[in-house]
Structure 1
Amino acid sequence: MTGNPPSTAQRPGPTRRLAEWLRSRPMVLAVFVIAALTMAASAYQNAQGRADSPPGPAAAPSADACLTRDPCVEETVDGLGDPGPAESSPADISVTSSPDAPQASVTPGEPDPLDTGNAQAPGTGSRTWPLLKSGDRGETVAAVQLLLTAHGYRTAPDAVYGPATTSQVTVYQRDRSLADDGITGPDTWHALIVTVRAGDRGAAVTAAQRLLTAHGHPVPANGAFDEETVQAVTAFQTVRALAPDGIVGPDTWSALVALEQP
């Protein structure tokens, strides 16, 4: 008689079969145990790291949140993410200055403190310019005539403000878009004067030399700005409390032409 097959209850379970299989293969069992221990240790370290790490930074408020709560104003200003007090709401922020704050004011007749321009109109400030017209005489008139010549408007330096000089002054004024009245006033002086210094030559130098002599600093009127002229200019500037640089510029010209007319 054929034997009956073993019942299901007599068959070993999967776990038992696996255990028997691993016992029969000790190397595989060792690898399996090492892998299990490694995974367990890694999982423990990850869990410990999450427990020790500090909490991350708070997320910045969204645009929609700022539309619905006031503290967003303070967070935007100081960048600390700490909502300010309730009284710091946008309704309390004013863009207008306080009535008690100091205000810049300009008094009529006084210069604007915000105006940094320093332009000076001819004939104003510390410079003074004589008014010469037809019939005047003297070295100041000769200076006008020589300065006209220096600009290409040849005029005889006879020190007499006659019709010829009046005519040349009028033409010069018209060419410079000045009032063409034939009178040498501050605007015309300002347009006539030429800065001269050591090494220069010409009618403008001669005019400065003749004026220096008239002021008691004699120097040959040879039209050459030589060392002797430099010394005379420096001495004149020192007496007049000007910068003693030996250069005849606007301030020195203004002092030179300040002569009493005969």
Structure 2
Amino acid sequence: MKKNKMSLTTELDLTREGTAEMTRWCILIALHQSFGIGAARLNKILARAEKLGQESLDIAMMVNDRGMPSTDRSLALRRSWMPRNVDSDFRVPVLRSPRTRREEQLRMAGDVAASMVWTLCAKACMDELGFGTERLLRLKEEALANYRQVNEEGHADGLDVAMEHLRRCAQAALKEDIVVENQPDEDRARQSERDYEEQKRAFLKRAVMQQLGRKAGKGGLRILSETQMEEKAAAAMAQLQEDTWAKRISTP
């Protein structure tokens, strides 16, 4: 049976997800191997980065003047965290340059996802470890070297071998069992679509409530019953154009 070709949208989602996860592991391993950071402090960095990521997402989910997600404000926030001379971009190492427009789009999506993870982890290192410019620059170089090594091992010995090496390094750093799940792309794609729909509903709900709030004036909605609120929200939702969510915000 002929296998259906994956859509570009789905492939972009999977690329963002996989690249973000790989970048996170490469940074954590670099912190452990090159800076001697132990499991307890690594977990603090992970927790801090997750909190920062939620703050960034909350801003991205705000509705701007055009009725779109505020991804530009979210990006500006993350860039503002970086000290002078520390680049917020994290260009993922590749074995060869993109040859087609599709490959170029996938490369760009991966770089955006990696850059987001880099800024979150870098800020977490500043907050939890007191990292400044010099150590952040060194951390970035070590993380890039780790990513490059995974690519080279995957090309020479197979992806399974490279991922097993990465897993062992991560396990040594965090002092806990790390399991790399071999989840089929189809399952990952379905989960990504569910996450996207949930995020879309949350954004549209916020957009509707913001629109209703402007129309009603300050405090004007408080006198409405729950049923009336739901009716107004449903009516406003029906008026929203689908292109409000034309661009995914999975990498705010």
TM > 0.5 fold call:
no
The normalised TM-score by structure 1 is 0.22
Which one has the bigger helix percentage? Answer: 2
Name which one, 1 or 2, has greater alpha-carbon Rg. Answer: 1
> Relative contact order (alpha carbons < 8 A, sep ≥ 6): 1 or 2 greater?
2
